Amino acid sequence: MLNAFLNLAVRTVTEPRSVAAELLAMRLDRTMLMMALGLAVVLNTIVYQLSLLAAPPTSNLPILFTSALIFALFIGLGLVLSIVSVTYAGRFLGGKATLEGIMTLIAWLQFLRFGLQLVTFVLMPIIPGLVGLLALCATLYGMWLLLQFIDVAHEFYNLFTSFGALVLAGLGIMLGLALAISLLGVQNMGLTPYV
């Protein structure tokens, strides 16, 4: 099982389009996908909280980042907004992806993110200077993978159109998160409002 996971992870980096097509061909049902996304949120939250314990921040962080429950809820909300935004932004531009298809691809990217967080957590005490660079490179490459996944899922076969869908989805995500934060109250999350 672990070997299959590692093999698929390596292939995602080297041949993202074929992996995206394989994942979409699985046609996983929504219940299973929601469970996978929930597990991804929990795993990512655990590793993030462990990293805070291992390397405590020098200044006080907002409650959003220190409370595991609030952090997990915020990550979960971000994932839901991402899935809906990527699906419908792509359809607006003529794409064909389904919610389940986008859920599958984003869930897989979240598990890859978890794997990367584990690696950075282990490497942090050994080579702290390189971990930041590794995280930056992984973030940039992750955006490239997402772009490829969107292109395959929506059957655009045009990365410019996929990039347009990604930009529209990004706007939708930011609006959704801004609305959620305003409804919950900026002060309640420990954030400083713009004046």
Maximum average pLDDT range among 6-20, 112-126, 131-145: 6-20
Question: What single-letter amino acid sits at 20?
Answer: A
Higher pLDDT, 3 or 167: 167
For 11-53, give the secondary structure using H, E and C: HHHHCHHHHHHHHHHCCCCHHHHHHHHHHHHHHHHHHHHHHHH
- Name the pLDDT band for 58 (thresholds 50, 70, 90): low
- Name the pLDDT band for 53 (thresholds 50, 70, 90): confident
Helix (H) / strand (E) element for 93: namely none
Check residue 130 and give its pLDDT: 80
Buried b / exposed e over 82-99, threshold 16 CB at 10 Å, is bbbbbbbbbeeeebebee
Q: For residue 152, give the nearest of 11, 13, 8, 25 by alpha carbon.
A: 25
Q: For residue 165, give the nearest of 107, 101, 83 by alpha carbon.
A: 83
d(CA 73, CA 111) in angstroms, rounded, equals: 17
Q: What residue has token string 């935004």? A: 85
Check residue 195 and give its pLDDT: 44
What average pLDDT does range 17-45 have in this prediction? 93
pLDDT beyond 60 at 190? no
Helix (H/G/I), strand (E/B), else coil: 125: coil
The alpha carbon of 96 is separated from its chain's Cα centroid by a whole number of angstroms, namely 21
- Name the pLDDT band for 26 (thresholds 50, 70, 90): very high
How long a stretch of residues is the chain?
195
Check residue 104 and give its pLDDT: 95
Mean pLDDT rounded to a whole number for the chain: 85
Higher pLDDT, 70 or 61: 70
Q: For residue 90, give the nearest of 174, 172, 27, 19 by alpha carbon.
A: 172
DSSP summary character for residue 94: T
Q: Tell me the whole-structure pTM to 2 decimals.
A: 0.85
pLDDT beyond 90 at 71? no
Asked if 41 and 168 touch (Cβ cutoff 8 Å), the reply is no
Higher pLDDT, 129 or 100: 100
Check residue 62 and give its pLDDT: 66
Q: Give percent of the chain above pLDDT 70.
A: 88
pLDDT beyond 80 at 180? no
